[in-house]
Structure 1
Amino acid sequence: MKNTLSDLNNYLFEQLERLQDDSLDESGLDKEIQRSEAVQKVAKTIIDNGQLALQAKKHLDEYGQGDKVELPMLGVISK
């Protein structure tokens, strides 16, 4: 499993496709809805974490220290 926000975006769209599966019966749809709600909560936490990391990186860049910070969740690794 990859751990970037781009990967998360792909996973969220995959979940959306599963919700739109016409072959799901009522029970299957209920399970997918529950899964989607759990995924949404975790995704929000990951996105919030990414936003915090980006804010920290911007702050450090402002003071000339940003090259010492890696943000792998954003797909950015400074060297």
Structure 2
Amino acid sequence: MKNKLIDLNNHLFAQLERLNDETLKGEDLEQEIERSKAITGVSKEVVANGRLVLDAEKHKREHGLTNGPKFLE
């Protein structure tokens, strides 16, 4: 998988557009709301992961380290 944060942004805006569809009613609307909740949950984890990597990189630079944990690369 080669998704980037811009892809996440695009998915979020696409979901917002689907939620804004005034023709959605009843069960279809409920399904879209549930999908939005799932997308929001995953999105928060992706952003938190990105924040962790950024914080680790800042820490490395502040302390003159050249290597960090491999799983953060």
TM-score bracket, normalised by the shorter chain, equals 0.7 to 0.9
Q: Give the equivalent residue in structure 2 for 1:17.
A: 17
Give secondary structure in 2 for the equivalent of 1:3. Answer: coil
TM-score of the aligned structures, taking structure 2 as reference length? 0.79
Aligned residues: 69
1:29 aligned partner, one-letter code: L
Runs of 4+ residues over 4 Å off in structure 1: none
Structure 2: gaps spanning 5 or more residues: 69-73
Query: Matched residues in 2 for 1:32 and 1:16: separation?
Result: 10
Aligned-residue Cα RMSD (Å) equals 2.0
With over 3 angstroms needed to count, the CA separation of the structure-2 counterparts of 1:2 and 1:12, relative to structure 1, is farther
Q: Give the equivalent residue in structure 2 for 1:77.
A: none
More strand by share: 1
Query: Matched residues in 2 for 1:61 and 1:26: separation?
Result: 53
> % of aligned pairs identical?
50
Structure 1: gaps spanning 5 or more residues: 70-79
Larger relative CO (CA 8 A, sep 6+): 1 or 2?
1
Query: Matched residues in 2 for 1:25 and 1:52: separation?
Result: 39
